[in-house]
């Protein structure tokens, strides 16, 4: 089945220790998104890639970076995690960008910062 895969499902890191979350997709979609979702809150878009074109949201902290080495994979790097970065991180894909394009989500990675 075509899908969006995220690894690991749970990640524990220490305050200030860099961490990388990964996402892969077998849908061959052009667009990949990273969202941060805290408990009982709406998913918040951090950035997205349209093919190789990186698009950062204006309020995404510099502490968050992303890489997309090829169509299938996308990584979220948190350079110096703080306690406030503990959240669920959701990866999503869509075939194209624009109105009406459904986004398909991976199962998420829950990040705990100690």
Partner 1 sequence: GQNIDQPTEMTATEGAIVQINCTYQTSGFNGLFWYQQHAGEAPTFLSYNVLDGLEEKGRFSSFLSRSKGYSYLLLKELQMKDSASYLCAVNDSWGKLQFGAGTQVVVTP
Instruction: Determine which residue in the list 19, 21, 90, 113 makes contact with partner 1, applying CB under 8 A.
Output: 90
Is residue 5 a contact point for partner 1 (CB under 8 A)? no
Kindly indicate which of the ranges 13-21, 64-72, 74-82, 95-103 contains the residues binding partner 1, using the contact rule CB under 8 A: 95-103
| Identity of the residue, 18 or 96, whose beta carbon is nearer to partner 1 in the bound complex | 96
Q: How does strand 109-113 pair with strand 10-13?
A: parallel
Kindly indicate which of the ranges 17-25, 69-77, 78-86, 100-108 contains the residues binding partner 1, using the contact rule CB under 8 A: 100-108
Q: How many Cα atoms occupy the beta-carbon half-sphere of 14 within 13 Å?
A: 1
Contacts of 63 (CB under 8 A, 6+ apart): 78, 79, 80, 81, 82, 85
Applying CB under 8 A, the residues found at the interface with partner 1 are 4, 40-45, 48, 88, 90, 97-108, 110
């Amino acid at each position: 089945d075509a899908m969006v895969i995220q690894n690991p499902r749970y990640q524990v890191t220490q305050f200030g220790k860099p961490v990388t979350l990964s996402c892969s997709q077998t849908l061959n979609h052009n667009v990949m998104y990273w969202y941060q979702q805290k408990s009982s809150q709406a998913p918040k878009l951090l950035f997205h890639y349209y093919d190789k074109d990186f698009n950062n949201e204006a309020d995404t902290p510099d502490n968050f970076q992303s890489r997309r080495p090829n169509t299938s994979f996308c990584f979220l790097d948190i350079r110096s995690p703080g306690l406030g970065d503990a959240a669920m991180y959701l990866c999503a894909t869509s075939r194209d960008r624009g109105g009406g394009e459904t986004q398909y989500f991976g199962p998420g990675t829950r990040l705990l910062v100690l």
